[in-house]
Structure 1
Amino acid sequence: MKVRVLAAAVLAFAVASAAARAADPRYPDWPCTQAKVPEISLAAVWAGPPLGDAETKWKDDAKISALVAKLSARKTPLEAAEKSVKEFLAASGSDKATNAKLLFAGLFDTLNAQRSQVMSGLERVSRKQRDAADKIREETLELQALQGATPRDDAKVEALSNELIWKTRIFEDRHKVVRFVCEVPTAIDQRLFALGRVIQQEME
């Protein structure tokens, strides 16, 4: 009974994965219900002046680079990040416009890279989950055959049952993690948009 109940999670994953592939065949490994957007568009998050050479030069400024790392970290609360942006630009004096563009360019690069890393990880786990689902289904059929065999080998039945329960629980745990991590790209989008808005407001 336990094996049949736990294996339902595997079937649910298989159905969800098939639905995701049907929804957008361009990304067959994408496991999330949220649509996959490979990169954030600059135009979607920045309505300020053209960034120009700031897109490459922000890395050359140690102070900007350090601040970008702090603001990009998910452990930094968004409210604290917005406050840091305001304080930094308020203290920039005549360099305010330049620093604002450098700061946003750094955030745009860094947060886009974070998104790509998270999304690649999600797709790797999705492929592993599909392989695991196939294996569990195979072993479930094998278990059913063992249970119906005459004479029945109870030791083999128990061993395979325990193995299936263990594998399916690992599968379920991974599935829960995937659902949680699927929210991360959206959170990164929101952080970049919010910080970009603060930077633009401070430039005005």
Structure 2
Amino acid sequence: MGFGTNNKIFLEFEQPFWDEDCELIYLLWEDETHLANVVSDINMSWNRKLFGFTVLKPIGPYGLVLYGWIAGRESEFIETLSELEVLHSVTQLLRIFTGNPTITPRKLLRSQWFNDPYSCGSYTYVARGCSGYDIDNLAEPLPLKGSNSKSLQVLFAGEATHRSFFSTVHGALLSGWREAERLITHYTPASGSVSSKL
């Protein structure tokens, strides 16, 4: 399995610079050569991996918010920058693309999955040489079938363990339900009543 990093950048605004019915803002570069996986100068061009922003519906105290995705080495790199540096770069990017020199986000918030000691990244993917069977193997509980132990000791859930919906929240949820059902089935006697072992 492969494991990589995708981060989100949230920008809050006092006033929208986009139309009321706008849902997405795409950034289209004229020279596509800079969109290659290997960026020559990551310090100067990391923001070229931001392909656009999604307009969020206002929620509670948070009003006008855009969020963008950034992936790969650039996503890892921005975690080494201060929030002020990221805010400055993204603000300049939006000003260039819109031609509006007054665009000024009120606040920036970003995820930092790569440096989080409990996740070290954000999403799995089926890497070269892997297949759905590897996902199935990762989802197998311990002890493995055929061992002498009759109790389940470790179960695995999460998006990396769902063959059809890896890399998604949906896959994480479904795999959690799968393992809950596995426990219920394992500890429920044939009569159908829940065992006192639970």
TM-score (ref. length: structure 1): 0.27
Higher relative strand content: 2
For the pair shown, which has the larger CA radius of gyration, 1 or 2? 1
Q: Which has the higher contact order (CA 8 A, sep 6+)?
A: 1
Higher relative helix content: 1
